[in-house]
Amino acid sequence: MVTAPPSTDVSRLHAAAVARALSDPKRLCVVEKLGAGERSVSELSRDVGCQVPNMSQHLAVLRAAGLVASRREGSTVRYRLVDPRVLDACRLLQQVAG
Amino acid sequence: MVTAPPSTDVSRLHAAAVARALSDPKRLCVVEKLGAGERSVSELSRDVGCQVPNMSQHLAVLRAAGLVASRREGSTVRYRLVDPRVLDACRLLQQVAG
DNA sequence: GCGCGGCTTGCGTACTTGCGCAAGTGATGA
DNA sequence: TCATCACTTGCGCAAGTACGCAAGCCGCGC
């Protein structure tokens, strides 16, 4: 298997960083939207209901955690999920929270 | 099915709270330890390597998120996971972080 | 009752975060 | 070239967080 359960200090550190990135409702919403396909910053800020600079910061957080990646397309920048398992993580979080 | 993908605002709020609770390496470590069975506060603080009051606070955070529950046993207090899926969430976070 | 070990709580401090707003960068079209 | 749109970055502030330390609470044994 790819992932034995060693749980070293560093792996916990990274996992905590990922959890941190997912610990905001707006970012959770962004991840869900991106689960349906690429979106631009302005689309996401409209869907989530925040200003563009704010969304840009949230996306920067998600990117720093390695959860999303960006791609320039003409004058717009389109974001996507790096790993579809992030969506699973979101759903699992909601189940546990339920 | 148990898990439709509605993702209302409140469910995202709760999920974010859970993610928030898991967004600390020490708390992640605690969850893993508790995955192996009940532990007392002093055991956990020793394993994780922090002072008892600090561990107590981390446990309070996890309890506020509904992830752990406590039980008095004589003079000690033993904590346990409320839902084993929390462990799955931890593992998934580590995989995504990998 | 009394002290003691096990936990919790309160308090102060240093640090991080989310947000709005203004300014900067970069590509597009006139 | 210049104006414009899309996005990013810098800045300041209010709010939240982790930690250590000291004090309080609570069962248990003496």
Task: Using the predicted structure, report yes or no on whether residue B41 has a pLDDT greater than 50.
Answer: yes
Query: Is residue A16, in this structure, part of any structural domain at all?
Result: no
Query: Is residue A87, in this structure, part of any structural domain at all?
Result: yes
Distance from CA of B85 to the nearest CA of A (A): 7
Query: B55-91 pLDDT, tens per residue?
Result: 999 999 999 999 999 999 999 999 999 999 999 999 9
Query: Is residue B4, in this structure, part of any structural domain at all?
Result: no
- Average pLDDT across chain A, whole number: 93
Taking the C-alpha atoms of residue A36 and residue B44, their distance in angstroms, rounded to an integer, is 41
Q: What is the predicted pLDDT for the residue at A6?
A: 65
Query: Is residue B6, in this structure, part of any structural domain at all?
Result: no
What percent of chain A shows pLDDT beyond 70? 94
Number of domains in chain B: 1
Largest CA distance in chain A: 44
Query: Is residue A4, in this structure, part of any structural domain at all?
Result: no
Q: What is the predicted pLDDT for the residue at B78?
A: 97
Q: Do B28 and A16 touch (CB under 8 A)?
A: yes
Q: What is the predicted pLDDT for the residue at A62?
A: 98
Query: A1 pLDDT band (50/70/90 cuts)?
Result: low
Query: A4 pLDDT band (50/70/90 cuts)?
Result: very low
- Look at residues A16, A17, A26 and name the one whose alpha carbon lies nearest to residue B12: A26
The answer to whether strand C lies under 7 Å from the CB of residue B17 is no
- Please name the residue of chain B whose CA is at the shortest distance from the CA of residue A3: B95
CATH of the domain at B46: 1.10.10.10
Query: B13-35 pLDDT, tens per residue?
Result: 999 999 999 999 999 999 999 99
The boundaries of the domain holding residue A67 are: 24-97
Task: Using the predicted structure, report yes or no on whether residue B3 has a pLDDT greater than 50.
Answer: no
Query: Is residue B1, in this structure, part of any structural domain at all?
Result: no
Query: Is residue B33, in this structure, part of any structural domain at all?
Result: yes
Q: What is the predicted pLDDT for the residue at A5?
A: 58
- Average pLDDT across chain B, whole number: 93
What is the CA angle B42-B47-B50, rounded to 5? 70
Q: In sequence order, what E strands does chain A have?
A: 39-40, 68-73, 76-81
- Please name the residue of chain B whose CA is at the shortest distance from the CA of residue A49: B9
Distance from CA of A81 to the nearest CA of B (A): 11
Q: Do B97 and A28 touch (CB under 8 A)?
A: no
Q: What is the predicted pLDDT for the residue at B6?
A: 65
Measured between beta carbons, the chain A residues lying within 8 angstroms of B3 are: 91, 94-95
Query: Which residues on adjacent β-strands are paired with residue A70?
Result: A79
Query: Is residue B20, in this structure, part of any structural domain at all?
Result: no
Task: Using the predicted structure, report yes or no on whether residue A66 has a pLDDT greater than 60.
Answer: yes
